[in-house]
Structure 1
Amino acid sequence: MRLPDDVVQCATCGVEYDARRLPGACPICADERQYLPADGVQRWTRPLEHDEDIEVVELEEGLHALRCADGVGIGQEAKVLVVDAGAVMVDVPAAITEEAVQAVRALGPVRAIIPSHPHMFGLQSLWSRALGDVPVWIAREDAAWLGRTPENLRLWEGTQEVLPRVVAAQLGGHFPGSAVVHGEGADGAGVLLTGDTIAPNPDGRTVAFMRSYPNRIPLSGPVALRVAEGAAAFGFERLYGNFAGAILVDARASVLASAARHAAWASGEHDDLTGSAGLA
């Protein structure tokens, strides 16, 4: 696959940048939600320098994940939701290959690309071009994080129906523009794709609400409750994050209960369970 010479990526987060206007350091990584390398040295790379293997995996009927092996970035899984009107890519790989593009095309005509937040921008302008210049929907509040502007950029805020019955909602929290995408599974049950806005925990039953996942910075209790209530406005049985985590049963109730637990701990309600040292 021949890629344009003016595209580079941050070697740490994998987000694309315009090679003609590179900052001294990747702003996304310099921010407290991400991280620069331990030595503090910014490194750039070109997509052509890597031969990533991208596997397209069916998660359920009508929903697939793109999993990259040995690539740059943080290893996110893009999701491709297929409905009657076409397909939507939610979050974007930090890699692209001709084989992966053809595999995604085979799932159905892709009508929209929508990253949940700036960490998931990946190679979005290249994927847009490869899939036929499909629109890339970016929350207006997060547009300042773009290091390269897709040719078919669409800014949005609040809620946005990107395809019939596929709705993006800006819930904030992790980033001001952090979003979830709601659709319907083949069985008619609601499916919520949450990126890092709401992150499934390893137990498969609870979720987390964080300002920074790698740096362990939590959101406040009120914000966690606000995000959960915004998500709960949709009916959904299953929830998928931007890595391999998922809640496959009664996910809406799990989100609300997890937010209540988060808020209780953040408020100090359970400080008696942390030990007696320093307590009055």
Structure 2
Amino acid sequence: MPAPSSAEPAADPAAAPSFDAPGNLPLCVTCGTQYGASRSDCPICDDERQYVPLTGQAWTTLEKLRGPSHRGSIHAQGPGVLGIGCEPSFAIGQRALLVKAAGGNILWDCQAYLDDELAALIRAEGGISAIAISHPHFYTTMAEWAREFDAPVYLHAADRRWVGRADDHLQFWKGERHSLAPALTLYRAGIHFAGGTVLHWMDDPDGGGALFTGDIINVIPDRTHVSFLYSYPNQIPERPETVKAAAAALEPLRYERLYGGWWDRIIPHGADRIVQESARRYLAFTRG
């Protein structure tokens, strides 16, 4: 995944101080995860799929981010899809996607920054009916978003242990698929994390279908292929059997477009073919 932004706010690398309000809960500077209480470590960064910087663990808060250094941003990312992030980027540069579906807007993935101005812009687009997140690196401030829009957050139960802040809005689903609406379905791909999830939108405005993947399926720079890694910063490949199973689960789906995990990482045409071809290429290399 991308390296942290050089524009991240300064933070004390010592243990997180005491916090007494939701906006002042500890927020990891490196990965953007918000925790429900003070702590000296970030389990997500301690995991081999992320990292702790050489300078050590550092903390900030959402309230500090809301100062003059950052602001929310919304940009079109495709037909019926708006990207939501902040400028300058924070943590690993996460951005969320507002999927403007017929039955109500779905927030796909999450990013840490949220203030009153950004919430008002989202409400002007129809608000948020539900939130679905691909994996723990995008959990960030999901509880803040859920409370702001009174929206349920759908997470795969296999990744429950990584939740940093409990909230009644969190809904844990099990199994291989979960329907959010008649044309919106979550699939467990199991890549990157055991509960690694993708979202299939069957009736996007272009009519060709769309797949939202975060970096469960990662779009490479020239958009001709995708990649599958267990750890992006530490460059650990995903297990072949996991990629094979994910490709088989997604093979029946039709989707012209694929939306990756960062700004403009989008495959505009032939995405379903590209995913299957990429899986075959990956398996050929990893199996010798």
Same fold per superposition (TM over 0.5)? yes
| Counterpart mapping for 1:174-189 below 5 A | 174-183=192-201, 184-189=203-208
Structure 2 partner of 1:267: 287
- 1:260 alignment partner AA: R
Structure 2 partner of 1:271: none
| Counterpart mapping for 1:235-254 below 5 A | 235-244=254-263, 245-254=265-274
Contact preservation (8 Å) 2:85, 2:113: no
Structure 2 partner of 1:139: 156
Structure 1 partner of 2:9: none
- 2:208 alignment partner AA: A
Structure 2 partner of 1:222: 241
Structure 2 partner of 1:75: 93
Q: Deviations over 1:12-39 (max 9, x none)?
A: 10011012xx443101000000000113
CA separation in 1, counterparts of 2:111 and 2:23? 19
Alignment partner of 2:35: what SS? strand
Contact preservation (8 Å) 1:128, 1:136: yes
Alignment partner of 1:264: what SS? helix
CA separation in 1, counterparts of 2:251 and 2:92? 28
When the two structures are superposed, what TM-score results if normalisation uses the length of structure 1?
Answer: 0.89
Alignment partner of 1:17: what SS? coil
When the two structures are superposed, what TM-score results if normalisation uses the length of structure 2?
Answer: 0.87
The percent identity for this pair of structures is: 34
Larger Cα-atom Rg: 1
| Counterpart mapping for 1:61-72 below 5 A | 61-72=79-90
| Counterpart mapping for 1:81-96 below 5 A | 81-96=99-114
- CA gap of 1:5–1:202, structure 2 versus 1, over 3 A, is closer
Unaligned ranges ≥5, structure 2: 1-20
Structure 2 partner of 1:274: none
Aligned pair partner of 1:44 in 31, 46, 59: 59
CA RMSD in angstroms comes to 1.4
Aligned pair partner of 1:199 in 218, 227, 247: 218
Contact preservation (8 Å) 1:11, 1:45: yes
